[in-house]
Structures are given as structure tokens and as C-alpha cells.
């Protein structure tokens, strides 16, 4: 069995893309399916401004970005709004837990948020990798020149 030693291997990038894309796609869909728990109702409870609009915008961004990340389409650009979404989620939901319940409770509650933030940051720096539409388009453009 061949051991992969480089963290920028196309296989690692694909795994991170699948993880990040799937989670954001799923969460975006759930904002529409379960509006009281995860969409407008949740945005209202945590004090997000204009929750009736913001929840739908965030859900749509997560769905579209999740699909783009899964396909490896404009990955570096696509993860930028996801990074801001995760920073906002941490600031609005996890910092209050830290203040009210302590570090260990916050770290437990924030594990997915931090994972998605770090995964998105990884993709921002690494790009979409070999197995992506981005790579296909780049190869096609290079061969035409």
C-alpha cells in the first residue's frame, strides 16, 4: 500500500472538499426544511439582524457554495463566504457559551464550527485539487493556448 506523505495530495484535498461541501450543502437545505429550529427561528433567537431575510440568504449561500465545493468549481472564491458564515456562527453562538458556560462547554459545542472553518481555510489556500472542475477548466484553457 502506497503511503501518501504530502498533505496537499489530490486525495487529501478531495476528502476535505467532500467533507466541507457535504456539511454546508446539508446545513443549507436544513435551514429551509426546519425553519423554526435551524432557519429563521434560530436566527431570531440568536439575534441575527433581519432573520426573515438573512436565514434564507445564508441557507442559499451554503447550498450553492456546498455544491461548488463538492464539484471543485471556483473553490477558492466559493469558500470565502463560508469562512465569514463560520466566523459569524462562532461569534454569535459559541462566544456566548464561552462567557456563560466556560471553555469546555464551548469547545464541545464549537467542534463542527471550527472544523468547517479550518476545512474552508484549507481549501482557500490549497485550492480545489486535481479531481475538480477547476482543474479540468485550467487544463482545457492551457491546452488551447
Where are the alpha helices (H) located in 6-102, listed in sequence order? 10-33, 35-38, 40-46, 51-71, 75-89, 95-101
The pLDDT mean for the chain works out to 92
Q: Give pLDDT, residue 138.
A: 85
Q: At a CB cut-off of 8 Å and minimum separation 6, what does 25 contact?
A: 62, 63, 66, 67, 70
Say if residue 8's pLDDT is above 80.
Answer: no
| pLDDT tens digits for range 14-45 | 999 999 999 999 999 999 999 999 999 999 99
| pLDDT tens digits for range 41-99 | 999 999 999 999 999 999 999 999 999 999 999 999 999 999 999 999 999 999 999 99
Give the model's confidence band at 7: pLDDT under 50 very low, under 70 low, under 90 confident, else very high: low
Phi and psi, residue 43, nearest 5°: -60, -35
Q: Which grid coordinates are listed for 97? A: 457559551
User: Which contiguous run of DSSP H or E holds residue 123?
Assistant: helix 111-126
Structure pTM?
0.88
Instruction: Spell out the domain ranges in the chain.
Output: 10-140
Q: Give pLDDT, residue 145.
A: 67
Task: Report the pLDDT averaged over residues 8-14.
Answer: 83
Q: Give pLDDT, residue 52.
A: 95
Amino acid at each position: 500500500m502506497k503511503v501518501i506523505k504530502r498533505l496537499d495530495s489530490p486525495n487529501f484535498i478531495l476528502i476535505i472538499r467532500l467533507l466541507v461541501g457535504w456539511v454546508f450543502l446539508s446545513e443549507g437545505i436544513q435551514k429551509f426544511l426546519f425553519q423554526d429550529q435551524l432557519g429563521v427561528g434560530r436566527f431570531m433567537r440568536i439575534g441575527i439582524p433581519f432573520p426573515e431575510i438573512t436565514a434564507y440568504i445564508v441557507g442559499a449561500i451554503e447550498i450553492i457554495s456546498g455544491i461548488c465545493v463538492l464539484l471543485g468549481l471556483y473553490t477558492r472564491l466559493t469558500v470565502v463566504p463560508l469562512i465569514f458564515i463560520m466566523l459569524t456562527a462562532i461569534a454569535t453562538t459559541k462566544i456566548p457559551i464561552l462567557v456563560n458556560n466556560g471553555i469546555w462547554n464551548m469547545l464541545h459545542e464549537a467542534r463542527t464550527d471550527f472544523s468547517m472553518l479550518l476545512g474552508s481555510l484549507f481549501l482557500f489556500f490549497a485550492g480545489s485539487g486535481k479531481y475538480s472542475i477547476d482543474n479540468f477548466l485550467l487544463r482545457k484553457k492551457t491546452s488551447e493556448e
